[in-house]
Amino acid sequence: MIWAESATDPIYLKVADGWKGLYGHGNEYAEFHVKGNDAQLQDAYHVLLGNNVGMMVSFVDKKEFHDQKDLLSAHAQWEINYWREHASRVESNTRQDLTGSNKGLKVTEIKVYNDKGAQMSSYLIGLAANDGVFVLSVSPAGKEVDPLVKELVSSLKLVHQKLDPERVKNLASEAKAHD
């Protein structure tokens, strides 16, 4: 088990086929599965997934969205607006093909260009919560990364329970039992 530096940081539990990520906020938490033994935790918020693909974990408070009701669309627009302030050009595309049937999730592909034409791409995987949006940002985006994103999306779920030390202990015991 990898403990976070503070009580609000994501926590990772080692499981047989990778890592189980847990990220609490308020009275709920996001749970996701990073498959593969080549995944390397850099810190609580950054994971190298292998093949030069990285992931950042974050939470964006709904206060950032100025009372908009559709948190997932508001979050995607918030991110796009940020990049428009810092890049020469920004392209975005909702990736319904990666989302599946879960209406509480949204995958947005973003491509950002500088004035020399260099490109950075990423997938924003948003999971709606009561107080905001849990976000997994996977970069770079591309067809070869799509299966990995689908796998992450299929494992991502919102749990309506506080992620307290007792809950983490129980989840760690469950993870060990399945090894």
CATH of the domain at 32: 3.40.1000
Whether the pLDDT of residue 109 is over 80: the answer is yes
CA dist 64 and 145 (Å) reads 29
Task: Give the per-residue pLDDT at 117.
Answer: 86
Tokens of 52: 């030069």
Is residue 33 included in any domain, yes or no? yes
**pTM passes above 0.75:** yes
Domain range spanning residue 171? 11-177
Is residue 133 included in any domain, yes or no? yes
Is residue 76 included in any domain, yes or no? yes
pLDDT tier at 5, thresholds 50, 70, 90: low
CA dist 48 and 63 (Å) reads 30
